[in-house]
Chains A and B, each alone.
Chain A
Amino acid sequence: MKKTHIIALLPIVGALQFASCFGDEPANAECDIEKIWVHTDVPEEMFFHSYDTLYEVPSAETAIVFQTRYDVVVTQMPLYMQVTPGAQIFRLDALNNREVPFVNGDVVDFSNAQVVMFRVHSEDGNYHRDYGVSVMPRVRGGGDLYFSFDDYYQLDERGSFYEWHEPNVPVSPWWATGNPGYRLSVSSAKPQEYPTCPEEHTGVDGKNCVRLTTSDTKGFGAMVNMRIAAGNLFAGSFDVANALRNALAATKMGHPYAHKPVKMSGYYKYQPGATKQDRQGNALPGEIDYPDIYCVIYRNADAQGNRIQMDGNILETNPQKNPNAEYVVGKARINSEDVVMNSSEWTKFELPIVYTTELSQEDVEGENYSMAIVFTSSADGGNFCGAVGSTLWIDNVTIECEY
């Protein structure tokens, strides 16, 4: 009897639900440059890698820079873009404040390192985004690197968290952190409550340093099974788009580096948090958290010239978990057993980079290798395993190069 009633009613419910038909699909509201590329007949003459002619634009980025070989004099090149379907591209003529329709393949003048402005209007006409595109020679830099962390940190454009903008580095910004991911889960956090932040007047020289703290991601993090966020600072970039989906994939490790580093050194202090926990949030009694400090050199293109970009799995030697493991050529890593814990004094670390492959200087200077430098307050933080409160302080980091 009951069932017949329900069945009898289903058509009514269906009619209710669909009485008002679905309207036409709305026009797209997004207005992204998804991919952008330049055309040149012999890419290798102008670029270190043929993949440098194409840029897949992360959604948050609006400054697009094609990086050429050091001595290239850039003039004009045909430019192509793939934008959100239906979106329209315009050249922004700043002088006359005009929008000029852009057609793929139009030749654009990139001379004198000028930034060419484009505006993309969404299909629905309600939104637009402005992009600056430029073509600039890469900077080789002088080899040895020194980071005092005394300066060059500032709040991001929202004022939520700190980021570092070191000058005199071949790639800028050099340092990335997981702070943008932490903001997604703990939007209420103050800048000093983020996992990675500067600490003033407490450095080894009495000046400033970097503090990395393994932090609770609160309810939202638990919901996506990411209960903690280790403080991290790494040479590379953080891809926020993947932050909630696959955090290890979100940490893009390393920058191309045309020198051969041989030693990484600096100062640290470490205070492990009270209770280490696993990914599910279960306490691991008796286990003490430890930090990680390492440097990895890897080949940044495969035999076919495709880009190799290492992520948070960079130390993984199992090719099933890290398909790019074979491209690692050199490594330096702090030994977890040697870490000095709970000391109020700074400890110096000196880690020689051990190469498993002989590098040719020509290859190195041809920007065929990338260097990743990583600091984290919980070594297994990439798997969301660590102790909330574990804190690693870092100061005065040096990279020494053979050439």
Chain B
Amino acid sequence: MRHKISLFAVLLSLSTALVAQENDKWTTWGPGGLTNGGWIVRVGFVLGGTSPLPVPPEIRSINAFEPLGGITFGADYYHMFSRRFGLQAGVHFFHEGFSTNANVKNYRMGITQGNNYMEGNFTGVDITNTTMTGISVPVTATCRLSPRWNIGVGPFFSFLAKGTFDGEVTDGYLREGDPTGQKIEITDDNPATYDFSGNMNHFYWGLEFMFEYKAMKHLNVFGAFDWSLSSIFPDSFETVPFNMYPLYAKIGVAYRY
């Protein structure tokens, strides 16, 4: 019996010691006082694209994919309500884009020049360049998995200051109006270009999934995936018949005050 008690005492004191040591870590890496808040200033790369989800059958294959630009910086304020749970909100500037070269079949599209317009179904190669520059406001519920690892999820709201969506079609033909319309050959000796930049939405929103790793005392490494739930084109814009969702991954470093 005595043995048992003494063993219990030993175990108790040992675990108390471990918890104390763990508490030290949470304090060392966390905000002082565990439920305080603070500022994070971050900069990172953005990679990704704008894609229909799911990819429509009109897009047969992607021949090339090339990110254009891709930078984000901003500041967040975070506040921990408990040792594990908190909220983080900020303002992030972003400049992101991509270029794709895809084989398409019977792809609905239009070509605009001034007040002249041609619309129809294209079969051939479509090269698209998209860039988006603007401000994003993420509001994220965070969970501290361990002293050094944070994950979070929450909505983001993006305001597009400038967006471009342009490209060219080549190596194929357009059926004017619909698939029964007259065929117009468009080949690489005379490609045709299009520009839907003026048709883009200036506001969209979605969900951000993020993580942060406290690499040094004041330095975080972070990553995030922004999954937009609204299309870059309004529903009234019929030339691109499916919704195009921005999907971007970010990775970078942050300074934690």
Of B175, B189, B247, the contact of A16 (CB 8 Å cutoff) = B247
On chain A, the residues within 8 Å of B111 by CB distance are 220
Of B180, B192, B247, B251, the contact of A9 (CB 8 Å cutoff) = B251
Asked whether A220 lies within 8 Å of B113 as measured between CB atoms, the reply is yes
Asked whether B117 lies within 8 Å of A187 as measured between CB atoms, the reply is yes
On chain B, the residues within 8 Å of A60 by CB distance are 182-183
Separation of A281 and B19 alpha carbons in the complex (Å): 80
For residue B24, CB closer than 8 A to chain A, the reply is no
Asked whether B249 lies within 8 Å of A243 as measured between CB atoms, the reply is no
On chain B, the residues within 8 Å of A127 by CB distance are 178-180
Residues 67-108 of B at the A interface (beta carbon under 8 Å): 67, 105-106
Asked whether A12 lies within 8 Å of B47 as measured between CB atoms, the reply is yes
What is the distance, in angstroms, from B201's C-beta to the closest C-beta of chain A?
Answer: 21
Asked whether A16 lies within 8 Å of B184 as measured between CB atoms, the reply is no
Asked whether A22 lies within 8 Å of B192 as measured between CB atoms, the reply is no
Chain B: residues with Cβ within 8 Å of the partner, total of 49
Of A9, A25, A245, the contact of B249 (CB 8 Å cutoff) = A9
On chain B, the residues within 8 Å of A71 by CB distance are none
On chain A, the residues within 8 Å of B106 by CB distance are 26, 28-30
For residue A134, CB closer than 8 A to chain B, the reply is no
For residue A184, CB closer than 8 A to chain B, the reply is yes
- Mark B163-187 against chain A: 1 for CB-CB distance below 8 A, else 0: 0000000000101101111111111
For residue B48, CB closer than 8 A to chain A, the reply is yes
Most buried by A among B49, B114, B185: B185
For residue A321, CB closer than 8 A to chain B, the reply is no
Binds A, one of B53-61, B129-137, B210-218, B231-239: B53-61
Separation of A25 and B59 alpha carbons in the complex (Å): 9
On chain A, the residues within 8 Å of B45 by CB distance are 2, 5-6, 9
For residue B6, CB closer than 8 A to chain A, the reply is no
What is the distance, in angstroms, from B254's C-beta to the closest C-beta of chain A?
Answer: 14
Asked whether B118 lies within 8 Å of A16 as measured between CB atoms, the reply is no
Separation of A10 and B65 alpha carbons in the complex (Å): 11
Asked whether A220 lies within 8 Å of B185 as measured between CB atoms, the reply is no
Question: With A23-B55, A219-B114, A220-B111 in contact, do A16 and B182 touch (Cβ < 8 Å)?
Answer: no
Asked whether A223 lies within 8 Å of B59 as measured between CB atoms, the reply is no
Taking CB as reference atom, which chain A residue is nearest B112? Answer: A220
For residue B199, CB closer than 8 A to chain A, the reply is no
Asked whether A5 lies within 8 Å of B184 as measured between CB atoms, the reply is no
For residue A242, CB closer than 8 A to chain B, the reply is yes
On chain B, the residues within 8 Å of A23 by CB distance are 54-57
Separation of A223 and B169 alpha carbons in the complex (Å): 12
For residue A341, CB closer than 8 A to chain B, the reply is no
For residue A264, CB closer than 8 A to chain B, the reply is no
Residues 189-221 of B at the A interface (beta carbon under 8 Å): 189-193
For residue A338, CB closer than 8 A to chain B, the reply is no
Asked whether B59 lies within 8 Å of A31 as measured between CB atoms, the reply is no
Taking CB as reference atom, which chain B residue is nearest A31? Answer: B180
Taking CB as reference atom, which chain B residue is nearest A24? Answer: B57
On chain B, the residues within 8 Å of A22 by CB distance are 55, 57, 59-61
On chain A, the residues within 8 Å of B175 by CB distance are 30, 59
For residue A282, CB closer than 8 A to chain B, the reply is no
Asked whether A9 lies within 8 Å of B179 as measured between CB atoms, the reply is no
For residue A215, CB closer than 8 A to chain B, the reply is no
On chain B, the residues within 8 Å of A307 by CB distance are none
Asked whether B187 lies within 8 Å of A245 as measured between CB atoms, the reply is yes
On chain B, the residues within 8 Å of A220 by CB distance are 111, 113-114, 116, 118
On chain A, the residues within 8 Å of B58 by CB distance are 26
Residues 1-43 of A at the B interface (beta carbon under 8 Å): 2, 5-6, 8-10, 12-13, 16-18, 20-26, 28-31
* Interchain Cβ contacts under 8 Å between A and B, 26 examples: A2-B45, A5-B251, A10-B47, A16-B49, A20-B51, A21-B55, A22-B59, A22-B60, A23-B54, A29-B178, A30-B180, A59-B181, A126-B179, A184-B176, A185-B113, A187-B118, A218-B114, A219-B114, A219-B116, A223-B192, A224-B190, A224-B191, A224-B192, A241-B183, A245-B185, A245-B187
Q: Which residues of A come within 8 Å of B, CB atoms?
A: 2, 5-6, 8-10, 12-13, 16-18, 20-26, 28-31, 59-60, 122, 126-129, 184-188, 218-220, 223-226, 240-246
Besides A17-B49, A20-B53, 12 other CB < 8 A contacts? A8-B251, A12-B225, A12-B249, A13-B47, A18-B62, A20-B55, A29-B178, A31-B180, A127-B178, A185-B116, A187-B118, A224-B191
Of all A-B residue pairs in the complex, the 5 with the closest CB atoms, nearest first, are: A59-B183, A220-B113, A60-B182, A20-B54, A29-B179
